[in-house]
Chain A
């Protein structure tokens, strides 16, 4: 499968000579597709990764507590907090009424006074009820008080679409929260991400919005011994190169990382060697890693599930144009959710969120125009 260049596509332009020529394929195993067990490699679901992290952090610091709807007796709406109530008691695993504005505010107030709350929103759609506390009460406090009042709080929960949950339960809030100075916004993909980033979030003295994904909770990923250690932390603000490549850069976060990796496998067969970046952090955004990658590959496709206008891809695009314009061999492409409220019907919902073929198509477009320029005028 190496060395295929121009045959398969009727593009007017081929790749630059640096593109597909001779290259060495370095494929990382796609975590969800392969189950390589070497001695000592364990597998863990994202759900268990989050659960074990909460458990360890609560054991390590008595100021850490969990609060939200159904986190206690119900064992968590998505079972992320399973077993914690039995272990830590109702003072540290606090079931709330369905009053997001109230309990988010209570969480922030307790953080003002030095506790370390982990507030669960059953989904981030409901965070809109409490968004004033996330932004005005939490994010801005350290600045407005010139450093007197820091807010060591974590807001976590599933973000973005699930499956068939309709318009009010499917929105991605990465772009909204990612625009606010004073917040840190993390987006784990794998189980290692989940452990390392959640630990970093809980230990961080600033407010962190931790955007999970419901459909990833049940997915298993290999976890290293290092990641299983209770002191394992990932740095906030650093993206991960999930798959190295030379021809194009694909940025993604959360569930879309898995899609991007699958798209990369397909592109490989067409002779396009894609580099996949798992953002891990929307704020701070790892512009350095993204730009370094684009300077290497000269082409970029951004992928996200959220609405396209003012989205994460738009910010990445602007950043790359500002910092690495001269390195681009093609305009940047954005793959995002459709610009519509999420429909329920399965076929329409499928059209509303990026599919692997969308990523593949956009990647091919940045490699060579599949449609002559004149036709797009």
Chain B
């Protein structure tokens, strides 16, 4: 297929998601094959052939490049002590959230654990809100009061951002409960890692989801390490897609955005008709568990660079775009440069954002504070009335 090439318009400097208007026929169907076939458990896996179009292919590239840049920049910010506490980076796993978003709407709910920055972006969050939150500033998505692990975007049905391993799975089944209660045609994706996959509460919630046919999709982002513990040391059965027993499951190449998209589309259809399903995304994180973890004491550098070489999600899309002649190498490099530029601008803006007012210590303790008194460390020195 030949596409007319035009010089692309200068990209606007908004900090929202990088959008490019392709002047070619953007909805011409392209069929892409997933890297590997799906493996099903108690279900017929979907086809390896995924339909897409140039617009979507380029948006996958752009979105993932932006996410990758954001996480790498967060690494530097953390090392310069502008980000404190915990910081769990998602680079390497971008295909999971980008592929998922391509298959669903903003009325479908997503809930995840603490590796949430890119998922927040995928739901429509901005770079500014993200960096400002990481640096504890007013412009942050949680006004600086949450931090890295507590990003939320309720208007896009993104419910966080949770620090307690595994807790988000019953919460996600609760979101699905509400969707079913209200007879909505929407589903919930409850994301968790291979570390959380052994949590008892997950099985408690999955049992109820199956009993009550809740539209819950449990997505195990299996990056093969629960903090420093490899999956084979933590799970008697690391076939997480099978762990639901009576609940069907699908094993997916999580580094292939199209496999993810296909799996999520399949899962959504399934969940609306038949109740819960488990998706195991075979993925990988380049960084350690968090910024406190070099990530190299429990795995070899060869392994990390090997995955980067063979399976990097962005490289995969780059190759597809080039193979289908949708952009030149230079154009793709320009997109990455633009992503870098947007990230740098967002960081600069975030640095300008002030820290929260001291009075914010006492806000949002309750939705309805009833005029109750709250106290600072020295209650004779600092008290407040909760609005």
Contact = CB atoms under 8 A, between A and B. Distances in A.
B370 A236 contact: yes
B367 A206 contact: yes
Interface string B145-168: 110001011100001111110010
A189 interface: no
Q: How large is the interface on A (under 10, 10 to 19, 20 to 34, 35 or more residues)?
A: 35 or more
Contacts of A86: none
B374 A106 contact: no
A106 B174 contact: yes
A105 B173 contact: yes
A99 B200 CA distance: 9
B106 interface: no
A132 interface: yes
B44 interface: no
Interface stretch (B1-9, B88-96, B175-183, B326-334): B175-183
B321 interface: no
A184 B374 CA distance: 13
Nearest to B147: A144
Contact of B204 (A97, A115, A137, A143): A97
Given A97-B208, A103-B208, A145-B150, A109 B172 contact: yes
Interface in A88-111: 91, 94, 96-97, 99, 101-111
A106 B170 contact: yes
B52 interface: no
A110 B367 contact: no
A133 to B, nearest CB: 7
A147 interface: yes
A166 interface: no
Given A144-B146, A322-B380, A113 B179 contact: yes
B204 A102 contact: yes
B207 A97 contact: yes
A102 B363 contact: no
Nearest to A183: B366
A113 B164 contact: no
B171 interface: yes
Contacts of A322: 379-380
B372 interface: yes
B277 interface: no
B353 to A, nearest CB: 14
A308 interface: no
Contacts, number: 159
Contacts of A113: 109, 159, 174-175, 178-179
Contacts of B169: 105
B188 to A, nearest CB: 8
A375 B138 CA distance: 60
A192 B171 CA distance: 34
Contact of A205 (B144, B146, B175, B367): B367
Contacts of B163: 136
B205 interface: yes
Interface in B203-220: 203-205, 207-208, 211-212
B29 interface: no
A150 B208 contact: no
Contacts of B152: 144-145, 148-149
Nearest to A319: B379
Contact of B167 (A91, A103, A136): A136
Interface in B329-375: 363-368, 370, 372-374
B170 A133 contact: yes
A184 B365 CA distance: 11
Nearest to A287: B373
| 3 shortest interchain CB distances as A-B pairs | A109-B174, A105-B170, A102-B204
Interface of B: 109, 111, 142-146, 150, 152-154, 159-164, 167, 169-179, 181, 200-201, 203-205, 207-208, 211-212, 363-368, 370, 372-374, 379-380
28 contacts: A96-B208, A97-B208, A99-B208, A101-B170, A102-B170, A103-B170, A106-B170, A106-B177, A109-B171, A112-B174, A113-B174, A113-B175, A114-B178, A115-B181, A133-B167, A137-B164, A137-B167, A143-B364, A144-B142, A144-B150, A144-B160, A145-B142, A145-B161, A146-B364, A149-B152, A149-B160, A150-B367, A284-B372
